[in-house]
Amino acid sequence: MGRSGGSASSPDIDAVQAAKIVERITGNAWATDAGGNFIYVTPAALAFFGTSLESLNAQPEEHTLGWKHVIHPEDYDAAAATWRRCLRTGEHYNVEHRMLRATGVYGWARSTGQPIRDRDGSVAGWYGTVIDIAVPSRPNDCDGRLADQPAQDPRLSMDAVHPHDRPAVEQAAARAFFHGIPQVSSYRQLQEDGSYRWIEFLVEPDYSISVDVDPAVARQDEPWTMASSFGETGDAVQAALAIEKLYGGAWAIDTIGQFTYATPTAQTSIAMTLEDLNVLLDGKPFLEGGRQGWQRGAHPDDSERAGETLRRALKTGEHWNFEYRVLRANGASVWHRAAARPTRDGQGRITGWYGTALDIDVYKKTEAALRERERQLQQLIDTVPALIWSTMADGTPAFVNKRFTEVTGARLEDMTAPDGSASLGVVHPDDRAAAREAFLHSVRTGIPYIRRYRQRRAGGTYRWTETRAEPSRDEAGTIIQWYGVSSDIHDLITSQEALRESEQHLQQLVETLPALIYCALPNGKPIYRSQRLRQYLGFNLEDTDDLGKSRLDGTLDAVIHPDDLASVKEQYAHSLATGDPYLLRHRLRRFDGVYRWVETRASAMRNGDGEIVQWNGICLDIEDQVRAQEELSRAQENLARSSQAASLAELSASIAHEVNQPLAAVMNYSSACQRWLTAEPPNIERAQKTLDRIVHSANSAADVVSRIRALFKQSTDKRDSTELGAVVRQARDLLAEEAARRRIRMDIEGESGLRLVPFDRVQIQQVLVNLVRNGMDAMASVPNERVLQIRAFRAGDMVRIEVSDRGRGIQFPDKIFEPFFTTKDQGMGMGLAISRSIVEAHGGQLWAEKNEPHGAKIVFTLPLDVAKMP
Amino acid sequence: MNKPVVAIVDDDPRVLASLVELLESAGYEIRSFISGEALLASGLKGVDVLITDIGMPGPDGFELRDLARRENPQLPVFLVTGRHEITDRDRARGIGGFLRKPFDGHALLAAVRDALGERQG
């Protein structure tokens, strides 16, 4: 094939062959006859789109293409129109549209095709391929202009392109549009002087630019191809030509790696001829590990492995797929994906290889950028302090971020129910049913999901969480996924709850306090009354508003006792004017008309600036307190009046007891005596003894009576003014004999001239005698010195008389003044009680103290007649 | 037949002696005690009737009655007091009775006899 313009010739293959060659490179392909009827589609592609050849070729209605059912309704018309035009004109077919997949989901795809022509140049069939694309490059532009546009810019200047190079330029432009990948190629451009100049140009999907090629690297005079014979590689070259038509570049090599064909533009872009490609750089055959010329066109870092992998493919027959950086003639390195497939003869022996290298530089860079972005996104998703998850369109859990698992302890599988649906396993059982219902509702309707519920933590506790999810939609508005985020709002919820509870508590507190509580504005207008106050008054705030006065005046006039009204108003006015606390006791009218005493206190509540924002007041019902005080006063008066009577009652009871004792004995003895006498025979002896005892007992009863009479003997000289010293001496004289007998010394010391207010001399003397006798009794059993001391001296307006002994002291200081309390065998326990009564009756006091160093000291006071004192 | 045993408690020795004389004249065997503690120290074994003063230091008559009843629920107990103000007859319920000084000796003897008869009959 010694022609230099290989690309211009038509390959001697049919559309199905071409499609199968393409399929081996891109994975899917199709072929139609000249009329557009499908004669081949890659079986896997048919399955992928859930269709069949018959179905694609069927014509359900007139003017409707069989493949309508796999194209999105919005895209079909444009695609069908383009396809019909291509069939008519032989233009390249290149359309982006959404295709319905077997899964029921539409996805964007680019469908490309081109005619294959027979030797006459008439279209013999079509072949092409379908490539999935994530997003259409120009979603609004699928009416076929795409097919025109790639060629448009170059075509405008196509006249300036060397006729030999025009197909290559067209191919490059088409490739750019097929794949959205910029293409670099070169061509000879017609100059004004009629000469041609090599131009390297870059074709972007939307535009193309051309630049002059440095003549130093462009070998303008080198031939396009050096292969003198295709040898066995005829099939491989044919295949390469078919691919070249679709991708703009292809090549064929023989079984030892020698190029027999390479698309001229591919050669020019790396500035290598076939000879350059095939040269053995170190004299060693390529298959034996030698370096071959084409490896110089690869980036040094990739060159070695490119060679190794191709060598292995050549040896084993495995397909060759390799990505490497191509070193362009202009020094740039551009990522390419190279692929090569073997051709075989009838015996299955490999006869050659055909392959292509697609420019994937942008893809690579985009992919790297995407990977980086994805990595960053993943990192972001895993490090943001939020629980993030996603589900499929139907709600099937698809992802939970790291934090989600750390916080809840649940992994993706834990969140997925056995049937694949969302388990909501971290939602509190009490909240789960409602949350699931809400989520499923969102999934059905596409309405964003928001829900608050308790969410389990890894430790087993639950925290209030707010979860929001939004659907992510594709261009067509179809939901692709749901993205959700769960935020911990526990503290917010609990603090809100606590606040609510606290408010409620406070409200309850105010409402239930046993007090009447109210609030008023700074000007005094009432704005709140507690329930108790409302009940007490029988009306509420607004009820006094229609009286033609301010609410405050209306209220005060209605509820304050008329006698208190003036002072209440005055006090209120003062407090409102000055901010001073308000405090007043007044009568407050109850709903039933009864006035009760209350104590009202109010104080100003101020804001941060010290301004009064409200008055808070409390009325305490003090009616009972007032009444109780009155009761108390009355009781105290009664007590004072009855105390004397009470002590007399005590006295009489005591005396009765003291008299009863011997009397009881007398009666017992009498009964006994009677029995002794009436016994058979009468016991005269016992009766006589009993009679003696009766007499004895009767005498002791008489003693008691006489002692009592002595104590209370009514003095004829009731109001005596004798000097106290005389009275004391008289008492001492009375007891002198007894004291001597009991070996007791009596010491008397006292001021002279102590004159008492008129008193009952006999009674006071009896008190003295009683106290002295007690003192003597107390010393009856003490071994040490028995001294009884009487002292009398002035203390202010009173005279103080002390009777001290040196006995064992007072054992029961609390009890000794109680009637009948006695520590003495023969005592009746009346002496101190009566003595105290007598002293108190004289306006004095009587009490006990400790004597020093030991013993007891009984002290009493009597009022002095100060006027008569010197 | 053994004489019934009457225990008498009174902190006033004069009254105690007179009660001993009275009950002896009726032919009872007497155990006399000057305090409740003395009675409790001696024990209630063999005692058929208890006569006790109410107002005494230490355990008073009521306490003594309750202690005795705990040991012998059927024991007739006669409480004696000189205090007019004690009118709490509820506290004096049960077998026995409540006597206010001065009381008729014959009445006491009759009551004792009835209590013993009731118990034995």
| A801 vs A553, more confident | A801
Cβ count within 10 A of residue A175: 24
Mean pLDDT computed over A636-650: 47
Residues of B whose CB is below 8 A from A676? 25
Give the nearest partner residue to A656 out of B26, B84, B106, using CB atoms. Answer: B84
Q: Measure in Å the smallest separation between the Cα of B29 and chain A Cα atoms.
A: 14
Note the pLDDT tens digit of each residue in A211-225: 444 343 334 444 344
Please indicate whether, in this complex, the C-beta atoms of B104 and A656 are within 8 angstroms of each other: no
**What pLDDT does A153 receive?**
35
Interface of A with B (CB under 8 A): 653, 656-657, 660-676, 679, 686, 690, 693, 697, 700
Nearest to A660 among B19, B102, B109 (CB): B102
How many folded domains does chain B comprise? 1
DSSP states of A214-229: PTTT--TTS-S---S-
- As given in the structure block, the two tokens for residue A219 are 């070998």
Q: Span A135-147, mean pLDDT?
A: 38
Rounded CA gap, A402 and A482, in Å? 18
Please tell me the distance from the alpha carbon of residue A644 to that of residue B29, in angstroms, as a whole number.
48
Classify residue A322: in a domain, yes or no.
yes
Compute the average pLDDT of residues A100-107: 72
Q: What is the pLDDT of residue A203?
A: 61
Question: By C-alpha distance, which of A257, A263, A253, A258 is closest to A233?
Answer: A253
A737 and A704 in a common domain = no
Q: Measure A658 CA to nearest chain B CA, in Å.
A: 9
Question: Looking at the 3D structure of chain A, how many domains does it have?
Answer: 7
Domain containing B44 equals 5-120
Residue pair A83/A65 in contact by the 8 Å Cβ criterion: yes
Neighbour count for residue A578 (Cβ, 10 Å) = 9
Residue A26 has pLDDT above 90, yes or no: no
> Are A697 and B25 a contacting pair at CB < 8 A?
no
Mean pLDDT of B74-83: 82
Higher pLDDT, A490 or A109: A490
Q: Are residues A720 and A702 in the same domain?
A: no
Q: Is the pLDDT of residue A12 over 70?
A: no
pLDDT score recorded for residue A427: 93
Q: Any bridge partners for residue A71, and if so which?
A: A99
Inter-chain touch A668–B104, beta carbons under 8 Å: no
Position A376 in a domain: no
pLDDT band at A637 (very low <50, low <70, confident <90, very high): low
Measured between beta carbons, the chain B residues lying within 8 angstroms of A686 are 25
Distance from CA of A596 to the nearest CA of B (A): 43
pLDDT band at A839 (very low <50, low <70, confident <90, very high): confident
Q: Which chain A residue has its CA at the smallest distance from B16's CA?
A: A665
Tell me how far CA of residue A93 lies from CA of A43, A81, A84, A205, in angstroms: 22, 11, 10, 15
A700 to B14: CB separation less than 8 angstroms, yes or no: yes
From chain A, the residues in CB contact with B78 under 8 A are: none
Q: What CA–CA distance (Å, rounded) separates A617 from A610?
A: 18
Instruction: Assess whether A22 and A129 both reside in one domain.
Output: yes
Q: Is the peptide bond before A522 cis (omega within 30 degrees of 0)?
A: no
- From chain A, the residues in CB contact with B84 under 8 A are 653, 656
Inter-chain CB pairs, A–B, below 8 Å:
76
Instruction: Give the span between the Cα atoms of A268 and A164, in whole angstroms.
Output: 13
Q: What is the mean pLDDT of chain A?
A: 79
Written as one string, the DSSP assignment of A434-469 is HHHHHHHHHHHH-PPEEEEEEEE-TTS-EEEEEEEE
Are A797 and A862 in contact by the 8 Å Cβ rule? The answer is no
**Are A702 and A834 part of one and the same domain?**
no
Of A661, A665, A676, the CB nearest to B25: A676
Question: In the predicted model, what is the mean pLDDT of residues A162-176?
Answer: 68
pLDDT at A36: 87
Question: CB of B60 within 8 Å of any CB in chain A?
Answer: no
Inform me whether the pLDDT recorded for A762 exceeds 80.
no
The answer to whether position A221 is within a domain reads no
Q: Which domain holds residue A461?
A: 384-495
- Which run of H or E residues covers position A16? helix A15-26
Checking if the pLDDT of B70 tops 50, the result is: yes
d(CA B82, CA B65): 17
Is residue A848 assigned to a domain?
yes
Contact (CB<8Å) B14/A662: yes
Quote the minimal CA–CA distance from A662 to chain B in Å: 7
- Secondary structure (3-state) at A209: strand
Q: The tokens 């629920």 sit on which residue?
A: B73
* Mean pLDDT calculated for residue range B99-104: 74
- Same domain? For A132 and A244 the reply is no
Q: Per-residue pLDDT for A691 more than 80? A: yes
Are the Cβ atoms of B25 and A670 closer than 8 angstroms?
A: no
Contact B17 A693 (CB under 8 A): yes
Phi, psi of A699, deg, nearest 5: -60, -45
For residue A440, being part of any structural domain is answered with yes
Domain at A168, CATH number: 3.30.450.20
Task: Say if residue B90's pLDDT is above 60.
Answer: no
**Quick one: pLDDT at residue A143?**
38
pLDDT value of position A648: 47
Shared domain check, A72 and A54: yes
- Is residue B87 within 8 angstroms of chain A, CB to CB? no
Q: Is the pLDDT of residue B87 over 70?
A: no
Contact with chain A for residue B109, Cβ under 8 A? yes
Whether the pLDDT of residue A124 is over 80: the answer is yes
Provide the percentage of residues in chain A whose pLDDT is more than 90. Answer: 14
Shared-domain flag, residues A737 and A773: yes
Lowest mean pLDDT among A147-156, A201-210, A419-428, A834-843: A147-156
pLDDT attached to residue A224: 40
* Chosen from A655, A666, A668 to mutate, greatest number of chain B CBs within 10 A: A668
Please tell me the distance in Å from A711's CA to the nearest CA on chain B: 22
Contact between A788 and A842 (Cβ < 8 Å):
no
Res. A261 pLDDT band, cuts 50 70 90: confident
CA distance A597 to chain B (A): 43
Stretch A755-780: mean pLDDT, rounded? 83
Give domain status of residue A224, yes or no.
Answer: no
Triad A69, A86, A173: Cα angle to 5°: 110
Whether residue B102 and residue A666 make contact (CB cut-off 8 A), yes or no, is yes
Q: Among A146-160, B1-15, B97-111, name the one with the lowest average pLDDT.
A: A146-160
Q: Quick one: pLDDT at residue A817?
A: 73
- Using 50, 70 and 90 to split pLDDT, how confident is the model at B21? very high
Write the CA distances from A646 to A269, A640, A649, A650, integer angstroms. 137, 10, 5, 6
Residue numbers in A near B18 (CB within 8 A)? 664-669, 672, 693, 697
Residue A152 corresponds to which amino acid?
Q
- Smallest Cβ distance to A664: which of B15, B25, B106? B15
Kindly determine whether residue B82 and residue A668, on different chains, have CB atoms separated by under 8 Å. no
Cβ pair A176, A205 in contact under 8 A = yes
Note if the bond before A813 is cis, omega within 30 degrees.
no
Q: Dump pLDDT digits (tens) for A455-512.
A: 999 888 999 999 999 998 887 788 888 999 988 888 888 888 888 888 888 888 877 7
Distance from CA of B100 to the nearest CA of A (A): 9
Write out chain B residues lying below 8 Å of A661, CB-based.
Answer: 12, 14-15, 82, 101
The 3-class SS string of chain B reads CCCCEEEEECCCHHHHHHHHHHHHHCCCEEEEECCHHHHHHHCCCCCCEEEEECCCCCCCHHHHHHHHHHHCCCCCEEEEECCCCCCCHHHHCCCEEEEECCCCHHHHHHHHHHHHHHHHC
Which residue, of A170, A187, A213, is where some domain finishes? A213
> Could you tell me if A1 and A134 lie in one domain?
yes
Is the CB of A653 less than 8 angstroms away from the CB of B85? yes
Any domain includes A20: yes
| Residue B16 Cα, gap to closest chain A Cα (Å) | 8
Asked if pLDDT for residue A247 goes beyond 80, the answer is no
In this prediction, residues A767-790 reach a mean pLDDT of 86
CB contact (8 A) between residue B82 and residue A669: no
In a domain, A839, yes or no: yes
Q: What is the pLDDT at residue A237?
A: 81
Lowest mean per-residue pLDDT among A252-266, A642-656, A739-753:
A642-656
B18–A666 CB contact, under 8 Å: yes
Strands laid side by side in the A526-529 sheet: A526-529, A516-520, A612-621, A595-606, A582-589
* Domain final position from A659, A686, A708: A708
Instruction: Return the residue of B nearest to A671 by Cα.
Output: B105
Name which of B22, B84, B101 is nearest A653 (Cβ-Cβ).
B84
Q: What pLDDT, on a 0 to 100 scale, did the predictor assign at position A140?
A: 37
CATH (domain of B20):
3.40.50.2300
Q: Are A181 and A362 in contact (CB under 8 A)?
A: yes
Is pLDDT at A597 greater than 60 in this prediction?
A: yes
Same domain, A796 and A759: yes
The answer on A124 and A158 residing in a single domain is no
CA–CA min distance A675, chain B (Å): 6
Q: Which of A324, A359, A394 is the last residue of a domain?
A: A359
A300-341 pLDDT, tens digit each: 999 999 999 999 999 999 989 898 988 877 677 888 888 888
Report the percent of chain A where pLDDT is more than 70: 79
First to last CA, chain A: 169
Can you tell me the distance from the alpha carbon of A70 to that of A67, in angstroms, rounded to the nearest whole number?
Answer: 6
Q: A864 and A719, same structural domain?
A: yes
Tokens of A290: 């030698």
Q: Would you say residue A378 has pLDDT above 50?
A: yes
Cα-Cα end-to-end distance for chain B: 15
**Given an 8 Å threshold on Cβ–Cβ distance, is A671 in contact with B22?**
yes
Rounded Cα gap, residues A753 and A793, in angstroms: 10
Asked if B14 reaches chain A (Cβ–Cβ under 8 Å), the answer is yes
Closest CA to A334 of A362, A315, A356, A307: A362
